[in-house]
Amino acid sequence: MTDLHLVNARIVDPEAGSVSVGAVTVSQGLIRQVFDNKTNPFRGETGEVIDCNLKYLAPGIVDIGVKVCEPGERHKESYRSAGLAAAAGGVTTMVTRPDTTPAIDSPETLEFVTRRANEAAPVNVLPMAALTKGREGREMTEIGFLMDAGAVAFTDCDRVVTDTKVLSRALSYARALGALVIAHPQDPGLSKGAAATSGKFASLRGLPAVSPMAERMALDRDLALIEMTGARYHADQITCARALPALERAKANGLDVTAGTSIHHLTLNALDVADYRTFFKLKPPLRDETDRIAVAEAVKSGLIDIISSMHTPQDEESKRLPFEEAASGAVALETLLPAAMRLYHADLIDLPTLWRAMALNPAKRLGLSNGRLSAGAPADLVLFDPDAPFLMDRATLQSKSRNTPFDGARMQGRVLATYVAGQRIYERP
Amino acid sequence: MSFPHRHLLGIEALRPEEITTLLDLADDYAALNRQPDKHADALNGLTQINMFFENSTRTQASFEIAGKRLGADVMNMAMQASSVKKGESLIDTALTLNAMHPDLLVVRHPHSGAVDLLAQKVNCAVLNAGDGRHEHPTQALLDALTIRRAKGRLHRLSIAICGDIAHSRVARSNIMLLGKMENRIRLIGPPTLMPSGIAEFGVEVFENMQEGLSDVDVVMMLRLQKERMDGGFIPSEREYYHRYGLDADKLRHAKPDAIVMHPGPMNRGVEIDGTLADDINRSVIQDQVEMGVAVRMAAMDLLARNLRLTRGAA
């Protein structure tokens, strides 16, 4: 029995690396078949037929590193609001961060989160758990129990485990269980107190700054420990050219290593901070234009595997402060796809490569079967128009926090509809 | 004469002819300040509030005297002791004060950009009296006036700025102002006290003080904060004085008529030799303090004129 036919679509296939006109049929929440335009997929079939009018149909985005502020700061973002934002942004799987208050570091807190998420969010939610208790870098969490409870990866988020003994033991233990460890490579000493990337701009603005070298140093250290322990490792955000050779070497040497970057580091640079605009304060701070281009090239070549939103809600109070005191981070679930279209329109990265980084690779890294358009995969889909222009107005965002650096920006590319397991969970009004 | 600015937040926004306008007016006020009757009426009826979120004696006093000589009602708020301690945000403080209808707000804050932020939230003229390590425009203007009076011009001079450039808002504002007026700028200091990206500033950088001072017209010393002397940025006070403290020996490398400046307060025996600082033939440090009042009178006068114009139009 077939439930849904999406016909007359331009199908973005990250596995084949192609965009071609065709149709997708969905049955019982799974993709049943993908057709090219020569065959008529719904002859003699039942179910709903949707004419996509030659708009683009791609796998739903799998976003690793979404911060939902439950428990602790529900006024900033709840599972409900984050889920609606994800649906409006074409994100069908949110992989959530454990840097909540308290941190998600025990099976009990994880169960709370899973229950809340399943009740409230229309998209798939897969939680990550902390690597060390309280994210304090001293004792490892119950990695085994947490995996049993559904944790898909382990990370202390932006807190770096400074004690290499603690980290090497946690990595060894994680390796035995096949757990994926995600780290934030920033040397904590060098980056302490930094609000910007060092250089002329930061000096002119008088902002405490950190050299991009802090990222390479921490990545070098982590990779040495991966060589030692053999753990599965993912660097959450690689944002500068200097870190790339180390990553390339590690991959060439056969280490089980992947890397991600954030959509903001791919589409903005340090100068965007302009007159102390705190919505552009991120962690790590925005880099210069040469780094941005180098990172985009690395996504194109596949050296950097994954693009994330690094969705980080902050309320108005924590952003309406002098730049040094303001909180870091930006919301991005809804702006991820339009911002990614900037890379497409600038001819930096084509659509199949973007979906390889936003859907296929993150799904593969977590051992999920979605993120691709093949028979038997979950029917998590996004229908979008890469050309539709609009003026971004942050008041229209679904997130409870609206700290987007794209407020007032001209953007091109909008989500038209989002499907999770064959169910339409969002349609642009 | 034109000075089309609502606020004075930094040197960055000023054009060379606007700087000249302000300095010319400050020259007039410098003359007035030497009269027995020092009163003028440029700020009559206006309210000036000095908000200092960071300790200051001389800058605050200078702004207070400047305002009072021009007839403003001046109020000082020691922000460290007040509502900030009770957890009020900067913006709330600004809005509260704004409701009292001040005309001129003089603000010093320990964080870069904080004064810009505050200026966005109030509808009076804001003067930056120093924000973090960003800008200190009236200091650069008073330095410029002092140089112009001592040297007879403010262009084509070779000027050395020495010491803790990295943490200094005075250095940033001076680099910008002196660069706009087409001077040759040299920065002297250990690499630990130089900001990043300095090569792109259009200045020459020297780690050796004798080389850096060679044939300069002006030697501008910066204060080294106590908290930076503990081995974090420099090994010790005495080694710093040996390598970067200004004394008669090092000054011999500069032009024979080179002047010595310091924004104060000085650490005698750390960045400058005490005898040299008091040498009236070389040191213009006291002139800087005198010009400070004149420059602040000029700045507030110009902003008040714009304020009256916009209010008249409204």
pLDDT digits (tens, 9 = 90+) for A302-331: 999 999 999 999 999 999 999 999 999 999
A41-56: average pLDDT:
82
Range in A35-39, A173-177, A230-234 with the lowest mean pLDDT? A35-39
In whole angstroms, what is the distance from residue A212 CA to residue A245 CA?
Answer: 14
**Nearest chain A CA: its distance from B76 CA (Å):** 22
Asked if B169 lies within 8 A of A207 by C-beta distance, the reply is: no
B164-191: average pLDDT:
97
Judge whether residue A375 has pLDDT over 60: yes
Q: Are A236 and A308 within 8 A, CB to CB?
A: yes
B229-251: average pLDDT:
90
Q: What is the pLDDT of residues A181-197, one digit of tens each?
A: 999 999 999 999 999 99
Q: Give Cα separations from B139 to A16, B296, B303 (angstroms).
A: 64, 9, 17
Q: What is the pLDDT of residues A243-259, one digit of tens each?
A: 999 999 999 999 999 99
Judge whether residue B208 has pLDDT over 90: yes
pLDDT at B88: 77
Cross-chain CB nearest to A322 (options B90, B169, B198): B90
Asked if B201 lies within 8 A of A203 by C-beta distance, the reply is: yes
Judge whether residue B290 has pLDDT over 80: yes
In whole angstroms, what is the distance from residue B39 CA to residue B35 CA?
Answer: 9
* Nearest residue to A151 via CA among A132, A128, A175, A125: A128
Residue B2's pLDDT band (cuts 50, 70, 90)? confident
- Exposed/middle/buried for residue A316 (C-beta within 10 Å: 0-12, 13-18, 19+): exposed
pLDDT at A137: 97
In whole angstroms, what is the distance from residue A195 CA to residue B297 CA?
Answer: 35
Q: What is the pLDDT of residues A85-117, one digit of tens each?
A: 999 999 999 999 999 999 999 999 999 999 999
CB distance from B180 to chain A under 8 Å? no
Residue A146's pLDDT band (cuts 50, 70, 90)? very high
Residue B314's pLDDT band (cuts 50, 70, 90)? low
Chain B residue nearest residue A199, CA to CA: B197
A276-281: average pLDDT:
97
Asked if B200 lies within 8 A of A200 by C-beta distance, the reply is: yes
pLDDT at A382: 98
Mutate to test the interface with A, among B90, B117, B175 (most CBs of A within 10 A): B117
The DSSP annotation for B67-134 comes to: HHHTT-EEEEEEGGGTGGGGT--HHHHHHHHHTT--SEEEEEESSTTHHHHHHTT-SSEEEEEEETTT
Q: What is the pLDDT of residues B141-174, one digit of tens each?
A: 999 999 999 999 999 999 999 999 999 999 999 9
Residue A46's pLDDT band (cuts 50, 70, 90)? confident
Does the pTM exceed 0.90? yes
* Parallel, antiparallel or unpaired: strands A48-51 and B73-78: unpaired
Residues 6+ apart with CB under 8 A from A202: A196, A208, A209, A270, B195, B196, B197
In whole angstroms, what is the distance from residue A209 CA to residue A197 CA?
Answer: 5
Range in A321-325, A335-339, A353-357 with the lowest mean pLDDT? A321-325
Contacts of A324 in chain B (CB under 8 A): 111-113, 132
Residues 6+ apart with CB under 8 A from B308: none
pLDDT at A42: 60
Asked if A275 lies within 8 A of B134 by C-beta distance, the reply is: no
Asked if A207 lies within 8 A of B112 by C-beta distance, the reply is: yes
The DSSP annotation for A262-281 comes to: EHHHHH--GGGGTTT-GGG-
Q: Are A401 and A313 within 8 A, CB to CB?
A: yes
Residues 6+ apart with CB under 8 A from B92: none
B220-224: average pLDDT:
95
In whole angstroms, what is the distance from residue A21 CA to residue A340 CA?
Answer: 22
Q: Are B160 and B135 within 8 A, CB to CB?
A: no
Asked if A199 lies within 8 A of B201 by C-beta distance, the reply is: no
